[in-house]
Amino acid sequence: MILTLVVGFVGASLFANSRTPSYEAAAKVTLGNTPAGGSITNPAEPDPATEADKLKSTAIATAVANKVAKGEDPDKLLGGLTVAYVSNRNVLDLTYADTSAEQARTLVNAFASEYAAKREADAKGFYDNELTKLNADLTTTGTSLIAIDPQINAKSNALNELGRTQGTLTQEQLDQRQQLNLDISTLQFQKNTLTQRALALQGDISTTQRARDNRAKAADVTREASLPTSPIGVSNSLVKLAGGLLGLIAGVVLAFTLARLDRSATDSSEVEEATGAPVLANVPVFRLTRANGVNALVMVTNGRSLRMQRARESYRRLRTSLHMQIAKTGRNSIIITSAHPSEGKSITAANLAIANAQAGKRTVLVSADLRRPSIERLLSVPNDKGLSDWLAEETEAIVQELPSIPNLSVIVAGNHLDRPGELIASPRLTSLIRDLEAEYDLVILDTPPVLATADAATIASSVGGALIVVDGRRTDLKVLQLISSELNRAGGRVFGSVLNRTRTQPGHSLLRRGAYAYERAARKRLD
């Protein structure tokens, strides 16, 4: 511990002395409404997220570089800028970090002022553009009005001249008079329309001018940055103190870890003492050479390696020892569980079921781990209607025969997996187990780990006994004591344990109730 304390303190001191101080200056910009995105009479409210992106744009950074940091790369200047906002407040909070306090203040104020000026210019430009368009439209309308009066006068004079004609008008003169009256009416209508348009345009121009003259600022720097007086971050003295403290903690943790290394379940006698039940088999570690775990079924593979042969023999011994335990209770149903995920319980359940079937015993394997079922992939059977559907009273026929393995049947997990805890606690499961016990020589249920959910403890009281699979490389003895106690408190009986993955370097697993995730689409290792 003294060594780790010294190392931590020295390391923290070297780090503190090598740090370059950094200063941070802050400014604030208040946003106002702008007609861009809205209208002259109903300006749009600003979107702080969009405006923050605009403030951090290369265009603003270029303007800042040209004004206060000539020669600097605009993108590099943006590296020290941070813009924060709250969605329901029209305020942008700017901070700038730099090794120079003066530069930090100068740059943050420059970013704030350049952005505010740009937003103001954009708002004013919007009004100016609108006025330019309105005035141009008014000029065009006035020109049309001026041109229409001479046409009306000419038509009226022609009509008057026709009216002074002596005698009866000819048909041609009558038609001419009718056409002149129609033309005059049309021209008068056009004149009235143009006059109304001119009046409307004059009103729009007045409205736009008032809106421009009376508008609030589109952006205003409401707080300029002051000169930072101290660097940001933790002081050097606190860094050194923290380094020494972390070194001390690391020493304590290391000492505790070393003291706990020999607590992994590597010895059969220690496992038996922790569980209060015999170790029924020791299964050596063997490689899963297929991604779907098919080669984990050593009872049906052709592997002739020493490890494969030893593994097959271990499952046969497990079968024999288990039947001796079953004979004491008169119940031929068991659950197979473990402390944590990935200790090999599903592989053990599948191989044990195959070994029992190969001995001529009618065996049914139930995939009762509804949260992360693995039996289906191991046996390459489709996960159609199964246990969860039966418990939810959605189907009746759920037992599948396996033609490739005589005497072995399987019940898959099924598709009704949204509330596994409630389904497992259903009285229908107890009834199903009783029915299966009457029909088969051995009923094996693959259940979730005890420390992950309450499912295994719930089922334990409905079967003859429990078989605990122990990872000899990492399962902690205290964990075994805990899960044995939980199974016993739930009314279950521990038949024994399987010391799995033996003759390897022991690992270590701290006592924990890890999160037992639902089945993932791709998992490197089957449970």
Q: Which domain holds residue 130?
A: 20-223
Last residue in a domain, options 195, 223, 251:
223
> Looking at residue 509, what is its pLDDT?
38
> Looking at residue 424, what is its pLDDT?
94
User: Containing H/E element for 498?
Assistant: strand 494-502
Residue 365: strand, helix, or coil: strand
Burial of 488 (0-12, 13-18, 19+ CB in 10 A): middle
Q: Which residue type does 102 have?
A: E
Residue 8 lies in a domain: no
Q: What six digits make up the tokens of 393?
A: 């009273």
Q: Are residues 283 and 214 in the same domain?
A: no
What's the CA angle centered on 282, arms 279 and 285, to 5 degrees?
A: 145
Q: Are residues 197 and 292 in the same domain?
A: no
Tens digits of pLDDT across the chain (527 residues)? 677 767 766 675 665 555 578 999 999 999 998 887 667 777 888 999 999 999 999 999 999 999 988 778 999 999 999 999 987 889 999 999 999 999 999 999 999 999 999 999 988 888 888 899 999 999 999 999 999 999 999 999 988 888 887 677 788 888 888 999 999 999 999 999 999 999 999 998 998 888 888 888 889 999 999 999 888 866 556 666 777 688 778 777 776 665 565 556 568 899 999 999 999 999 988 766 554 445 689 999 877 778 888 899 999 999 999 999 999 888 999 999 999 998 999 999 999 999 999 999 999 999 999 999 999 999 999 998 899 999 998 888 789 999 999 999 999 999 887 889 999 999 999 999 999 999 999 999 999 999 999 999 999 999 999 999 999 888 888 999 999 999 999 999 999 999 988 764 333 333 333 334 433 333 344 45
Residue 519 lies in a domain: no
Residue 3 lies in a domain: no
**Total tally of structural domains belonging to the chain:** 2
**How many Å apart are CA 443 and CA 452, to the nearest integer?**
23
Residue 106 lies in a domain: yes
**How many Å apart are CA 307 and CA 504, to the nearest integer?**
12
Q: Are residues 348 and 206 in the same domain?
A: no
Q: Are residues 124 and 72 in the same domain?
A: yes
Burial of 490 (0-12, 13-18, 19+ CB in 10 A): middle
Residue 124 lies in a domain: yes
Q: Are residues 160 and 271 in the same domain?
A: no
Please say whether the beta carbons of 9 and 250 come within 8 A. no
**How many Å apart are CA 410 and CA 382, to the nearest integer?**
11
Closest CA to 468 of 443, 499, 437: 499
Please say whether the beta carbons of 331 and 376 come within 8 A. no
> Looking at residue 518, what is its pLDDT?
35
Residue 523 lies in a domain: no
Stated pTM of the model? 0.49
Please say whether the beta carbons of 119 and 218 come within 8 A. yes
Q: Are residues 271 and 187 in the same domain?
A: no
> Looking at residue 308, what is its pLDDT?
85
Q: Are residues 172 and 314 in the same domain?
A: no
For the four alpha carbons of 518, 521, 523 and 527, in that order, the dihedral sign comes to positive
Closest CA to 469 of 323, 343, 291, 359: 343
Q: What is the CATH number of the domain that holds 410?
A: 3.40.50.300
Residue 219: strand, helix, or coil: strand
**How many Å apart are CA 527 and CA 369, to the nearest integer?**
10
Query: What is the number of other CB atoms lying within 10 angstroms of the CB of residue 474?
Result: 20
Query: What is the number of other CB atoms lying within 10 angstroms of the CB of residue 7?
Result: 16
Closest CA to 445 of 414, 428, 466: 466
Contacts of 520 (CB under 8 A, 6+ apart): 372
Angle between helices 101-163 and 171-214 (to 10 degrees): 160
Residue 233 lies in a domain: no
Last residue in a domain, options 170, 193, 223:
223
> Looking at residue 323, what is its pLDDT?
93
Last residue in a domain, options 160, 195, 223:
223
Q: What six digits make up the tokens of 512?
A: 């924990």
Q: Are residues 170 and 297 in the same domain?
A: no
**How many Å apart are CA 250 and CA 244, to the nearest integer?**
10
Q: Are residues 210 and 65 in the same domain?
A: yes
> Looking at residue 228, what is its pLDDT?
92
> Looking at residue 302, what is its pLDDT?
78
> Looking at residue 210, what is its pLDDT?
86
Residues written for the chain: 527
Q: Are residues 274 and 198 in the same domain?
A: no
Q: Are residues 398 and 306 in the same domain?
A: yes
Q: How far apart are the first and last CA of the chain?
A: 39
**How many Å apart are CA 421 and CA 430, to the nearest integer?**
14
Please say whether the beta carbons of 428 and 391 come within 8 A. yes
Q: Give all strands (DSSP E) within 215-261, no chain letters.
A: 219-223
Q: Are residues 75 and 201 in the same domain?
A: yes
Residue 101 lies in a domain: yes
